[in-house]
Structure 1
Amino acid sequence: LILKEYGMVHAMRSFIEKTQNITEIKFTIADHLEGRFDETLETTMYRTLVELTNNSIKYSKAKHINYSFNYENGELKINYKDDGVGFDYQKAIDNHSGFGLLNLQNRIKKLRGYYLYNTSPGKGVEVYISIKTKYE
């Protein structure tokens, strides 16, 4: 209901408020958006960010998770970053243990978007998502 009524950033803030009660991780959101987007896009991005956050909580040993939301040149740009232990991305894909990673990739592709997953052991995780779209 929060997602549909108020959008993905507000829904993420609500999710983080609840999540902070069960983890020591510190969360920050930089929101530079001036409007809302298509409901399918917002729902997909919200679910993607929740999945990334849950993975960080379970596996990363992160102390901080940062989200940033920007819109420039007709593109929604989302950046997700944690300071956890990171992992070998290609190895996870090759070993089929990265099912969630492939799911993320497919979600972004369905929106005709681009994403870059930057991680390695000891380096945390950074995910950059860019989707051509316009405000509703």
Structure 2
Amino acid sequence: MQKKTNRLKNLNEKLVDVEERERKAVASDLHDGVVQNLGMSISTIKTIKESTIVPDTQTLSKIQEYLEQSVIDIRSMIYKLAPPILDDFDFETALGFFVEEINIKYQGSLSYINNIDKPVLFDKTTKIVLYRAVSELMTNIIKHSQSQNAEVIVSETNNRIQISVEDDGVGFCWEKVRPTQFSCFGLNSLMDRMQNIDGDMKIFSEPGKGAKIVLLVRKPPN
């Protein structure tokens, strides 16, 4: 009983830590992206208003570019906080849309392969956990892996749904970094969240040989 209580306490502490990190990440994204783009747009518009010179097409195009990027950034944050697409589509389709959003935002080349023939009817909690897990793994690739190629593959094996997130970046030695610096990447908390939905997460990586993270969860009955 005490062991179970301690496990729940540790899980709760990690969930609180995850929420705090997510809030800080949103604040940082707002400051570094949206706020700066809007600030530059306002500054440029004020300069135009105070000038007697009619603005040229290039200046107006620059303002448009700032505003369009702000819209993209805000949409991306909305998807992270409360992805509405999960209410309208199955998990595999929603994941495909998210990969597309990531590629647009970061001008990336993440590829998405869905090997599932029929939609998987996950419950809402499982969909959210998996969606956010893949989101965090893709963010790690973009920020830390120095990878030129990465892919997300959804498949079925032994009555379990498998989601593989793989890159060809710098890689790491999981056993060495697990107890220390890797907490900042969130893999430990991802493992806990996967276990909380009776799932599993496997990590395959070597320094200089990229990384492959596999999420596994039991396939729900149709």
TM-score, normalised relative to structure 2? 0.56
Q: Which residue of 1 aligns with 2:65?
A: none
Higher strand fraction (1 or 2): 1
Q: Which residue of 1 aligns with 2:156?
A: 71
Q: Which amino acid aligns with 1:27?
A: L
Gaps of 5+ in 1: none
Q: Which residue of 1 aligns with 2:102?
A: 19
Tell which has more relative contact order, 1 or 2 (C-alpha 8 A, sep 6+): 1
The superposition leaves residues 12-47 of structure 1 with CA deviations (integer Å, 9 ceiling, x where unpaired) of: 222222221243431221112212322211111110
1:29 aligns with 2:112: yes
The superposition leaves residues 70-102 of structure 1 with CA deviations (integer Å, 9 ceiling, x where unpaired) of: 224321111111111111212222215325011
Q: Which residue of 1 aligns with 2:140?
A: 55
Identity percentage of aligned residues: 25
**Structure 1 stretches of at least 4 aligned residues deviating more than 6 Å after TM superposition:** none
TM-score, normalised relative to structure 1? 0.88
Q: Which residue of 1 aligns with 2:191?
A: 105
Aligned in 2, Cα 1:2/1:90: closer, same or farther, shift over 3 Å?
A: same
Gaps of 5+ in 2: 1-83
Given that 2:99 and 2:112 are in contact with CA atoms closer than 8 Å, whether structure 1 keeps it comes out as no
Q: Which amino acid aligns with 1:88?
A: C
